[in-house]
Amino acid sequence: MTDKKYLYPLKFDTIFKEKIWGGTKIKDILGKDFAPLSNCGETWEISGVPGNLSKVSEGVLKGQTLPELIDTYGGDLVGKRVYERYGNEFPLLIKFIDAAQDLSIQVHPDDKLAKERHNSLGKTEMWYIFQADEGAKLITGFNKDTSKEEYLEHLNSGRLTDLLNIEEAVAGDTFYLPAGRVHTIGKGLLLAEIQQTSDVTYRIYDFDRTDDQGNKRELHTEQALDALDYHHYTNYKTRVSKGLNEAIPLVKSEYFQTNLLEFTTGIIREHYDKDSFIIYTCTEGEAEIQTLGQTTKISMGNAVLVPQKFPEVHIRTKSGFKILETFVP
């Protein structure tokens, strides 16, 4: 077993995903070279999804995967309660998404349905918009209470969007999407996505797109019926009172909590009351993350995993930053 003294704030190799709707902002704005792919719709920054396991990019643990790290360090890495709940499965997935075209209209199952059908966690997620083209929009939820029958009628007659809630999106907006909420990311948006560790998506409508071979992507009409939440909700967009040089709560759920740190100077974050790792995802500026003499740089487009054994985190900066701070409650 590796000596626990070797734990430190961890960065991982980026996993690049070419998508039918992907663009070039991952390179143009985030500075990440996704060659030889022709586009990049998603980067997976911290992933424990089988087949897409993140590997440490720096330090003495370079090359080790997340499950290997958890197997070695257990609660010192993820927190005792998190380890008891999830074992060697890392519970969160951190992505950046560039939508050059609209994504498919889709829904994700909750834990119960995902476990029954796919032996997987469900997928509750959040989006933080950090670049938006003028007029960019997205879909989240229904615009009125509906029923399975009314939904199917609109879907089959090509009028599904008449039932859907369309939101304008600008930089700094946050959207929380519990499992079961119909949604899509609209073209022109670059965002950070924080979600449960799951890759289960039910595609409802894909705008009749075809791939290079002229094939349409598979739809999951029947699977989506029992996954959808047909209720209408108010305030689909998260309302926050933004403040400079303070931690602003964005999302508080049973799966993860996320704060926005927008600071012009260095800060000390104390997490003695948390039994969880902390993930810092940078959406603007740059900083240094320090824990007990260990220093890791973070800048826009990077994510850093701070092990639970470091409950005090010093974040130093010369230029200021916007960072999403995420942990398991």
Same domain, 163 and 39: yes
Spell out a b/e string for 98-132, using b for 16 or more CB atoms within 10 Å of the CB, else e. Answer: bbbbbbbbbbbbbbebbeeeeebbbbbbbbbbbbb
221 and 267, same domain (yes or no): no
Which CATH number is 323's domain given? 2.60.120.10
Mean pLDDT in residue range 285-311: 95
Total Cβ atoms within 10 A of residue 277: 27
- Could you tell me if 217 and 298 lie in one domain? no
Range of the domain at 265: 246-327
Q: Tell me if residue 221 falls in helix, strand or coil.
A: helix
- Least Cα distance to 308 among 282, 274, 268 occurs for 274
- Shared domain for 197 and 294, answered yes or no, is no
pLDDT (average), residues 87-111 = 97
- pLDDT of 244 reads 86
How far apart CA 197 and CA 327 sit, in angstroms, is 13
For residue 240, being part of any structural domain is answered with: no
Q: Are residues 88 and 177 in the same domain?
A: yes
Over range 166-193, report the average pLDDT: 98
Per-residue pLDDT at 212 exceeds 80: no
Composition of the chain by helix, strand, coil, percent to 5: 15, 40, 45
Query: DSSP string of 247-298?
Result: EEEEEE-SS-EEEEEEESS-EEEE-TT--S-EEEEEEEEEEEEEETTEEEEE
Q: Are the CB atoms for 165 and 143 separated by under 8 Å?
A: yes
The answer to whether the bond into 36 is cis (omega within 30° of 0) is yes
The answer as to whether 24 is a domain residue is: yes
Examine the domain organization and report whether 202 and 270 are in the same domain. Answer: no
Look up the pTM and report it.
Answer: 0.95
Residue 13 clears pLDDT 50, i.e. is over it = yes
Please report where in the chains the tokens 């369309």 appear, as a residue.
166
Nearest to 31 by CA among 18, 22, 40, 20: 40
CA distance 312 to 315: 10
Closest C-alpha to 105, from 181, 169, 175: 181
Q: In this structure, are residues 92 and 139 in contact, taking their beta carbons and an 8 Å threshold? A: no
pLDDT score of 3? 53
On whether both 201 and 78 belong to a single domain, the answer is yes
153 and 279 in a single domain? The answer is no
Tokens representing 240 are 């926050």
- Residues 317, 206 share a domain: no
Give a yes or no: residue 239 inside a domain. Answer: no
Q: Which residue has the higher pLDDT, 184 or 216?
A: 184
pLDDT given at position 293: 82
The domain tally of the chain equals: 2
Indicate whether 263 pLDDT > 70.
Answer: yes
Mean pLDDT, all residues of the chain: 95
Q: d(Cα 15, Cα 53) in Å, to the nearest integer?
A: 9
221 contacts 155 by C-beta, under 8 angstroms: yes
Percentage of the chain lying above the pLDDT 90 cut: 91
Domain end call among 225, 260, 276: 225
Known catalytic residues are 203
Same domain, 37 and 139: yes
Across residues 90-109, what is the average pLDDT? 97
**Has residue 231 been placed in a domain?**
no
145 and 265 inside one domain: no
Instruction: Identify whether 238 is part of a domain.
Output: no
**Is there a domain that residue 175 lies in?**
yes
Supply 59's token pair: 């330090």
**Residue 4 pLDDT greater than 60, yes or no:** no
Give which of 274, 276, 324 is closest to 304, Cα–Cα.
Answer: 324
pLDDT number for residue 5: 61
Are the C-beta atoms of residues 44 and 54 closer than 8 Å to each other?
yes
- Which residue, 161, 194, 225, sits at the end of a domain? 225
Looking at the fold, whether 219 and 279 belong to one and the same domain comes out as no
Residue 17 neighbours by CB under 8 Å, 6+ apart: 40, 41, 42, 43, 44
233 located within any domain: no
Q: Is 50 exceeded by the pLDDT of residue 1?
A: no
Is 190 a domain residue?
Answer: yes
Whole-number Å distance between alpha carbons of 226 and 231: 13
Q: How many CB atoms lie within 10 A of CB 148?
A: 11
Cβ contact 98:40 at 8 Å: yes
**Overall average pLDDT of the 30-56 stretch:** 97
